[in-house]
Structure 1
Amino acid sequence: MTMPAAIEAVRAAFIGLTAGEFELPPRQAFSGSRSLVMAAHHRPTASTAVKVISIEAERDPVITGTVVYSHPDGQFVADAVPLTTLRTGAVVGVATDLLADEDASHLALLGAGAQAADQVRAVHAVRPLKKLVVFNRDAKKAEALLESLKDELPDTVMDLAPDAEEAVSGADVVCCATASTAPLFTCDALKERVHVNAIGSYRPVMRELPEDLLATAGVVVVDQVEAALSEAGEIIQAVNSGVLRLESLVELGAALGNPPLREGRTVFKSVGVAVQDWAVARLLA
Structure 2
Amino acid sequence: MPLTVLTRSNLRELLQSLSRDEIQNLQRNLAQALREYSTGAQDKGCSATYQPQRTAITRQNGCTTLFMPATNGQTIGIKMISLQDGGAAGCQVEKSGFDGNESDSGSGSRRRGSARNSVASLSSDMSELSVGSSQEDGGSISPMATPAGGGSSTDSSTLLSGCVNQQPVTANANVSKTLGAWPGAGTRDSSPRGSVTLLDGESLPFALINAHELTAFRTALASLMIFNKRKKVRTLLVFGAGNQAYWHIRLALTLRGDDIRRVYIVNRSFDRAAKLLQDIYSPENSSWRGDAKFSAMSSDFGEYNRILKEHVRKADVILCCTPSVDPLFPADFLTSREGRQKGRLIMAVGSYKSHMTEIHPDILRDEVNVTPPHRHFHKHTRRSGVIVVDSLDAAIKEAGEIVQAGIKPKQLVELGELLMVRHATLNDEGETEEKGLREWTEKGNVIYKSVGLGLMDLITGGDLVKLARERNLGTTVEEF
TM-score over 0.5 for the alignment? yes
Contact 2:63/2:84 (<8 A) preserved: no
Post-superposition CA distance 1:123-168 (Å, at most 9, x none): 2244332110000000221122122113231310111135444432
The correspondence for 1:186, drawn from 323, 330, 339, is 330
Deviation at 1:118, TM superposition (A): 0.6
Aligned length: 277
- The structure with the largest alpha-carbon Rg is 2
State yes or no: 1:248 paired with 2:407. Answer: no
The match for 1:113 is 242
Contact 2:388/2:412 (<8 A) preserved: yes
Closer, same or farther in 2 for the Cα pair 1:212/1:265, shift >3 Å? farther
State yes or no: 1:197 paired with 2:347. Answer: yes
**What code does the residue aligned with 1:208 have?**
E
Deviation at 1:211, TM superposition (A): 1.6
The percentage of aligned residue pairs carrying the same residue is: 29
The match for 1:42 is 72
| TM-score scaled by length of structure 2 | 0.54
**What code does the residue aligned with 2:417 have?**
A
Structure 1 unaligned spans of 5+:
none
> Which shows bigger deviation, 271-280 or 250-259?
250-259
Distance 1:93 1:198 in 2: 12
> Which shows bigger deviation, 208-217 or 70-79?
70-79
Distance 2:251 2:329 in 1: 22
Contact 1:49/1:281 (<8 A) preserved: no
Structure number with higher strand proportion: 1
Matches within 5 A, 1:1-285: 1=15, 2=18, 3-18=23-38, 19-20=40-41, 21=44, 22=46, 23-31=50-58, 34-43=64-73, 46-56=74-84, 62-72=191-201, 74=204, 75-98=206-229, 101-128=230-257, 129-150=260-281, 151=286, 152-161=288-297, 162=301, 163=304, 164-190=308-334, 191=339, 192-217=342-367, 218=384, 219-239=386-406, 244-258=407-421, 260=437, 261-262=440-441, 263-285=443-465
Distance 2:293 2:416 in 1: 33
Q: Secondary structure at the match of 2:289?
A: coil
Post-superposition CA distance 1:48-75 (Å, at most 9, x none): 1210011126786842111011113751
**What code does the residue aligned with 2:325 have?**
T
The match for 2:154 is none
Structure 2 unaligned spans of 5+:
1-14, 86-182, 368-383, 423-436, 466-480
Contact 2:79/2:197 (<8 A) preserved: yes
**What code does the residue aligned with 1:29 have?**
A
**What code does the residue aligned with 1:252 have?**
L
Post-superposition CA distance 1:164-193 (Å, at most 9, x none): 444323010011011111111123324531
**What code does the residue aligned with 1:26 have?**
Q
Deviation at 1:29, TM superposition (A): 1.9
Q: Secondary structure at the match of 2:243?
A: coil
> Which shows bigger deviation, 206-215 or 154-163?
154-163
Distance 1:220 1:229 in 2: 11
> Which shows bigger deviation, 75-84 or 123-132?
123-132
Contact 1:6/1:87 (<8 A) preserved: no
Distance 1:42 1:35 in 2: 23
Distance 2:189 2:323 in 1: 14
- Superposed CA RMSD in Å reads 2.2
Q: Secondary structure at the match of 1:202?
A: coil
